[in-house]
């Protein structure tokens, strides 16, 4: 197992979650590289990994997150970051104001680009729904509006231990950790 991993994010919440699950030091890449535009989250993550590898010439981990609203035929999908920046959580909720179906699927696609430049994909998927209002103060991003299936709390109402036991990022990170530990 590696002692530290370069991760293409500056999001402190993502870094903390990865460090807790992987048990290693997570080092932010310090770069922001524009992403390709695609509705295919895996395609976005793979290209992002190759672009970061080309710039840094080192093994690294990249992530792409999608939040798929069934009522919106898959949007915002991999564009969730842009939707969140423009609309905020309250705006995301308003998108579903007249929807009878508030179900959503959260997807994290991790790509590890090893020292040789070979890519390895790990995906975590969790179904849930979008709450009618923001709830909770923990977490980051859209955690206050996503309720995982089988639960009555948003991610933001959960402590880190509970959230990290079931989030889509946790699922993908555990798959990555199992692969690394081989």
Q: How far is CA 165 from CA 8, 78, 80, 154, 181, in A?
A: 23, 23, 23, 14, 19
Average pLDDT, the chain: 94
pLDDT, one tens digit per residue, over 142-168 is: 999 999 999 999 999 999 889 988 999
Q: Is 51 a catalytic residue?
A: no
Residue written as token pair 């590289």: 33
**What's the CATH number where 30 sits?**
3.90.950.10
Element spanning 55, H or E: helix 41-56
Q: How many domains does the chain have?
A: 1
Rounded Cα–Cα distance for residues 68 and 107 (Å): 8
**Residue 158 CB coordination number (10 Å):** 20
Catalytic option among 40, 51, 64, 143: 64
Is a pLDDT exceeding 60 seen at residue 69? yes
For 92, which DSSP code?
Answer: H
Q: In this predicted structure, which of 29-43, 85-99, 141-155, 168-182 has the lowest mean pLDDT?
A: 29-43
CA 62 to chain centre: 10
Is a pLDDT exceeding 60 seen at residue 1? no
| pTM exceeds 0.75 for this model | yes
Residue written as token pair 């007249």: 98
pLDDT at 140: 87
Domain region containing 85: 4-180
């Amino acid at each position: 197992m590696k002692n530290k991993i370069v991760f293409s994010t500056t999001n402190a919440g993502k870094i903390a979650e990865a460090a807790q699950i992987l048990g290693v030091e997570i080092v932010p890449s310090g770069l922001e590289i524009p992403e390709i535009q695609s509705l295919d989250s895996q395609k976005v993550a793979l290209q992002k990994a190759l672009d970061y590898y080309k710039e840094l010439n080192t093994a690294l981990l990249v992530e792409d997150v999608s939040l798929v609203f069934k009522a919106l035929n898959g949007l915002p999908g991999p564009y969730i970051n842009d939707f969140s920046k423009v609309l905020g959580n309250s705006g995301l909720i308003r998108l579903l104001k007249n929807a009878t179906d508030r179900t959503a699927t959260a997807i994290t696609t991790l790509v590890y680009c090893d020292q040789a430049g070979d890519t390895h994909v790990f995906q975590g998927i969790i179904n849930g729904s979008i709450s009618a209002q923001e709830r909770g103060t923990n977490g980051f991003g859209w955690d206050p509006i996503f309720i995982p299936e089988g639960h009555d709390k948003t991610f933001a109402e959960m402590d880190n231990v509970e959230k990290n036991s079931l989030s889509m990022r946790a699922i993908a990170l555990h798959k990555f950790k199992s692969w690394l530990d081989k």
